[in-house]
């Protein structure tokens, strides 16, 4: 569904992505692991069109989208739940969701329907639907960010470190939601540092280090790979 090939993205003279190749399959959860600064967020930004790659190709449903601006990428069906949530703090929960549906605002009936569905699926958001998003807890904001992205009715949901800064119990909840969404048919491309939780839900793994993909495999492969075990799963003698 999503094919990323030899993507090179740079900030000035520094190449953050030095030729990244990976793919995300339909109806699966694909997970990208990697340390800080490896280029995970840069890759997300490149796919969603916030950053333009210097070279390489990104194909979504067969169409080339590398270099396309963000509004277009969103129109094609890719939505991002950004790192650090980035909810609109001064807007209410409902307004945040409405913002998510910005591009579909003409379809008032559809949007209203989706709004209802989101509030039903995330009852905590319904409770707080008229509250300012900035007053929500970390976990609730994460839920809001996910719901907001879902309002675009994406074919592919990108999630950038959804567990960041959240308490373990909340993280469990979030990953339950991720699994649920996937069961209901949403394809997910997940970027995570929390490899343990990711192993519970993802179907396919990539490891990115210093701007290049250094590992590709199934959860089973991950369990067997020593490097990942030691670096990200904390097992093995030091």
Partner 1 sequence: MIDFIQNSVDGIMIGSRYALLAIGFTLIFGVMRRLNLSYGPSIMIGVFVGTFIFIEFKAGWMAVAAATLVGAVIAGIYVERLCFWAIRQGAALASMVSSFAIWMQLEEFVTLSFPDRTYPFPPLTGDVPLKIAGISIQLSYLVMFAMATTLMLALNLALYRTRFGLAVRAVSENPVAARFMGINTSRVIFFAFVVASALGGFAGFLIAANEQQVTPLFGLWATFKGLIAMMLGGMGSVPGAILGGFLLGVIERQATWYLGAEFRDLVAYGLLFVFLAFRPGGLLGQRLAERERLALRRV
Partner 2 sequence: MDEHTIQVLSNIGMFSFIALSAYLLLITGEISFGQQAFFAISAYASGIATAMWGWGLGLGILWGALVAAAAAFLLAWPTLRMRGLYFAIGTLAFAEMIRLVFEVWTYQVKIDGELVGPDGSEGFRGVRYAFENDISNLEYMLLIYGLLAVVLVFFFLIERSRLGAIFRMLGEDELLAEMQGVNRVYYKVLATVMSGFIAGIGGALYIHLNTYVEPKVFNVMLGVHSLAYGLIGGLGTSLGPLIGVALDIGLLESTRLFTGFRMVVFGGLVAVLLIVRPRGLLDEDVVYWLKRRAARWLGRSKKPRPARRRPSISAPEVRDAED
Distances (CA, A) of 152 to 127, 181, 217: 22, 14, 30
Phi then psi dihedrals of residue 215, to 5 deg: -155, 145
What does 12 bind: partner 1, partner 2, none (CB cut-off 5 to 8 Å by kind)?
A: partner 2
Given 105, 112, 223, 227, the residue binding partner 1 (CB under 8 A)? 105
**Judged by CB under 8 A, does residue 10 bind partner 1?**
no
CB atoms within 10 A of CB 142: 27
End-to-end Cα, the chain, rounded Å: 39
Among 12, 90, 109, 185, binds partner 2 (CB under 8 A): 12
Q: 235 contacts which partner out of partner 1, partner 2, none, CB within 5 to 8 A by kind?
A: none
Containing 139, the helix (H) or strand (E) segment is helix 138-150
Burial, 64: exposed, middle or buried (Cβ in 10 Å; 0-12, 13-18, 19+)?
exposed
Q: Does 39 bind partner 2 (CB under 8 A)?
A: no
Helix (H) or strand (E) holding 36: none
Compute the least distance from the CB of residue 97 to partner 1, in Å.
10
Residue 84 CB, shortest distance to partner 1, in Å, is: 7
Q: Is 75 in the site for partner 1 (CB under 8 A)?
A: yes
Output the six-digit token pair for 92: 């209410």
Q: Residue 154, interface with partner 1 (CB under 8 A)?
A: no
Does the protein bind partner 1 through residue 103 (CB under 8 A)?
yes
Q: Residues interacting with partner 2, by CB under 8 A?
A: 9-14, 45-46, 50-54
């Amino acid at each position: 569904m999503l094919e990323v090939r030899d993507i090179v993205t740079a900030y000035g003279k520094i190449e953050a992505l030095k030729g990244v190749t990976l793919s995300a399959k339909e109806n699966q959860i694909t997970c990208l692991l990697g340390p800080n600064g490896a280029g995970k967020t840069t890759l997300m930004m490149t796919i969603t069109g916030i950053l333009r790659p210097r070279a390489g190709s990104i194909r979504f449903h067969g169409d080339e989208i590398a270099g396309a601006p963000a509004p277009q990428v969103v129109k094609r069906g890719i939505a991002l739940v950004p790192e650090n949530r980035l909810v609109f703090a001064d807007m209410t929960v409902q307004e945040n969701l409405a913002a998510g549906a910005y591009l579909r605002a003409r379809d008032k009936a559809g949007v209203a329907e989706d709004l209802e569905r989101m509030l039903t699926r995330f009852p905590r958001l319904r409770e707080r639907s008229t509250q300012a998003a900035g007053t929500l807890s970390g976990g609730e904001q994460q839920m809001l960010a996910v719901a907001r992205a879902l309002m675009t009715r994406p074919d592919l949901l990108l999630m950038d470190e959804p567990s960041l800064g959240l308490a373990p119990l909340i993280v469990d909840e979030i990953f339950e939601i991720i699994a649920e969404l996937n069961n209901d048919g949403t394809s997910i491309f997940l970027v995570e540092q929390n490899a343990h939780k990711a192993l519970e839900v993802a179907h396919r793994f990539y490891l990115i280090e210093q701007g290049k993909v250094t590992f590709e495999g199934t959860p089973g492969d991950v369990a067997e790979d020593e490097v990942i075990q030691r670096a990200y799963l904390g097992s093995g003698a030091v």
